[in-house]
Amino acid sequence: MAIRFLKQDQLPAFLGQLAEKARVVAPVKTDGVVQFQPWVSGQDVELDVLLAKQSPKEYVFLQTETYLKFGYEMVKPEAAGGDTAAEEADPVSVDDAAVEVAIPYETVTVEPQNEAPAQVIFGLRPCDARGFVQMDQVFGGYGGFYYDPLYNARREATTLLAVTCREPRSTCFCTAIGGGPAGEEGVDALFTQVDGGFVVEALTEKGEAALAAAGAALTDATDAQIAAAGEVKTAAGAKIDVPFALEGIRDNLHDNIADDRWHDQAMRCISCGTCTYVCPSCYCFSINDELVESTGERYRVWDNCFNPLYTEETSGHNPRAQKSNRFRNRFSHKFWYYPDKYDSLLCSGCGRCIMNCPTRIDIREIVRVMGAPAPAVAAGAASEAPAATGDAPAVAEGKEA
């Protein structure tokens, strides 16, 4: 596919043309906070701040989403075939069968909801796009698991136009886990900022279609512009910290499941759930019914695994009643349970959870400590003694969901 160029001053025209065919969502600064919002003509897109406060996942996996409406209705006896006229005239003479059908009964009407407007998300970063790919596996029926029609309809109707990160933050670690500032996973078209504008690469048919829809604002990129984009990508990649090596983390988390150090690590956590809400790949939700008289809605709403009630069962038993268990679950889910099931990680290294945690808990540190061999095992290895399996913490009876 041809590589294009979009002049900086043509960005509003480009988005305007896209907006004629689909909802455009872009990072916009409001009251000092950058958030993804439905874009309207005249609004400035904020690309100098590397990451919006929250990832754009809420435009595909909604914070609150009604997925069916329902209503109860009492059916009158005559609709069921009862002879109500005879009963009213002479209640005593009505036979047993007529009395039986005269009892009113209740019906339930159900109206499924599934709106999936065409939309283009512009200005997300490659780590945000990768987050969608990770959620796709969960909601997309990977390996025969549940296929979610709401999520998939929205995902199908969404085009992701990502922008290469030029100035990664100190909290970024995408390169440590297989991504990068110009990562292409999940990206439909990649925009790289160079002098005077963006070098634009369509990576999928959806991306190509979006660029065709806004073609008037694009020209062919020159060799010099393409080379400049390559330099931006290389330079950005070199700026990103690599805080840990992935190898062995999954096995070490498994071996450390009953390690007391989880308590120490969890001490500062206040179970606020912020890290899960800002994360581009956390997908937990709960389902609720809301009923007013005889009509209601069933909706799902984001939940988070730090919530003390998150795993409470109807019996009252809570398998993760302790904070340290919930804390352990989040990191083990991302680097052990999910990889076991989907053969990839549930983290894209965006660093939002680090930036936004009110008590400065750092996922890189947790993975470095709890994803390393247990101290007794490490000491045994260092002295070249046989593996000190007897001293290693006992593995609890299996991972949590």
The residues that touch ligand SF4, with contacts defined as CB under 6 A, are: 269-275, 278-281, 306, 334, 347-353, 357-359, 361, 363
CB of 51 to ligand SF4, least distance (A): 9
Q: Which is nearer to ligand SF4, 201 or 303 (CB)?
A: 303
The tokens 């069921």 sit on which residue? 80
CB of 281 to ligand SF4, least distance (A): 5
CB of 183 to ligand SF4, least distance (A): 13
Query: Please, which residues bridge with residue 35 across strands?
Result: 28
CB of 136 to ligand SF4, least distance (A): 15
Distance of CA 9 to the CA centre of its chain: 32
Q: How far is CA 268 from CA 231, 265, 273, in A?
A: 41, 7, 13
Q: Which is nearer to ligand SF4, 300 or 352 (CB)?
A: 352
CB of 353 to ligand SF4, least distance (A): 3
CB of 224 to ligand SF4, least distance (A): 35
Q: Which is nearer to ligand SF4, 208 or 365 (CB)?
A: 365
Q: Which is nearer to ligand SF4, 150 or 347 (CB)?
A: 347
End-to-end CA distance of the chain: 42
Q: Which is nearer to ligand SF4, 4 or 130 (CB)?
A: 130
CB of 205 to ligand SF4, least distance (A): 27
Residues in the chain: 401
Q: Which is nearer to ligand SF4, 208 or 241 (CB)?
A: 241
Q: How far is CA 174 from CA 134, 171, 179, 331, 371, in A?
A: 14, 10, 5, 16, 17
Q: Which is nearer to ligand SF4, 67 or 310 (CB)?
A: 310
